[in-house]
Amino acid sequence: MKRPRISARRTAVAGSAAAVLAVTALALPTAHAAPSQARLSAADVASARATLKTEASIPGTAWSVDPRTNKVTVTADSTVRGAKLARLNKVVAGLGDKATLRRTAGQFRPLIAGGDAIWGSGVRCSLGFNVSKGGQPYFLTAGHCGNASATWSDTQGGSEIGQTETSVFPGHDYALVRYTSNIDHPSAVDLYNGSLQNISRAGEATVGEQVQRSGSTTGVHGGQVTGLNATVNYAEGTVEGLIDTTVCAEPGDSGGPLFDGDTALGLTSGGSGDCSGGGETFFQPVPAALQAVGAQLP
């Protein structure tokens, strides 16, 4: 019997356990003056990022760039406090107009949980985008998912549909899974309303762009891109080059697709918050993942 097709989707799990804390952006006073509106040079931004990487790679922090102004926004989650927060304040203050600091009440973590969608060895994630490599079918998901399991099924305890071939996390956050069963694999994203969004190309996200994310825990949610080339210091390690957004996500949504119409933009990495109170989520850019693994959209 022909197996059901699998796109970037799975039935949402009612009452999913292990949702992360809601996120609320709070202004954090710092010792330096308010940043000017002048656009900083690329050298200024590179210098600020290098300083942050050297002096402030603290678990629970993240930073991203708005290329319209070249300003760096640094975020600290609820775990950054005491001496670590004082250290971060001092580093950001020393950067002057190059950076601003804000707080989030949640906790940055990779969004992974046992549950539904694509099932691994004791973990649940979401399929990102169906791709091809060497004429053979594959799919992309998050690297922290690929690290967790060598094989995948589309049902809990079901037969294998794919094997992890490449997985990168931390540093970046992508995995390439090779299909090992005869299952339909359309280049499409489930919109959780009975229809699919066809995906025809991969593109780079832009700040201010309105985007959508699909995931096995929470279905489809939208938001806005707020920063690019983001660095997130998870407890498991640092990930760089991410897309920063206001889109919410929850555990189990990891690996799922970020898209704008028919354009593939990113793979869900992690963040803070939930889809009841709102959140901040980071995504691995798809073009970079495709290039790294030598794959392309079908």
pLDDT tens for the chain, 298 residues long, are: 444 445 554 433 333 333 332 222 222 233 333 334 567 788 889 999 999 999 999 999 999 998 888 889 999 999 999 999 999 999 999 999 899 999 988 889 876 544 348 999 889 999 999 999 999 999 999 999 999 999 999 988 899 999 999 999 999 999 999 999 988 889 999 998 888 899 999 999 999 999 999 999 999 999 999 999 999 999 999 999 999 999 999 999 999 999 999 999 999 999 999 999 989 999 999 999 999 999 999 7
CA distance 168 to 236: 13
The C-alpha torsion from 131 through 227 and 235 to 269, rounded to 10°, is -20
CA atoms within 13 A on the CB side of 160: 11
Q: Are 198 and 188 in contact (CB under 8 A)?
A: yes
CA atoms within 13 A on the CB side of 135: 0
Length of the chain: 298
Phi (first) and psi of residue 88, to 5 degrees:
-65, -45
Residue 242 pLDDT: 98
Residue 6 pLDDT: 57
CA distance 166 to 76: 31
Residue 32 pLDDT: 37
- Positions annotated as catalytic residues are 144, 173, 254
User: Tokens at residue 121, please?
Assistant: 């060895």
Phi (first) and psi of residue 212, to 5 degrees:
-130, 155
Residue 7 pLDDT: 57
Residue 112 pLDDT: 52
Q: Are 196 and 184 in contact (CB under 8 A)?
A: no
Residue 27 pLDDT: 22
CA distance 248 to 229: 19
Please list the alpha-helical segments (H only) found in the chain.
42-55, 83-94, 143-146, 286-293
Residue 2 pLDDT: 40
> Among 57, 41, 42, which Cα is nearest to 91's?
57
Q: Are 267 and 127 in contact (CB under 8 A)?
A: no
Letter string b/e over residues 77-106, b meaning 16 or more CB atoms within 10 A of that residue's CB: bebbeeebbeebbebbeebebbbbbebbeb
Residue 29 pLDDT: 31
Please, which contacts does 222-228 make with residues 24 or more away whose CB atoms are closer than 8 Å?
222/247, 223/247, 223/248, 223/281, 226/64, 226/66, 226/73, 227/64, 227/65, 227/66, 227/73, 228/64, 228/65, 228/66, 228/67
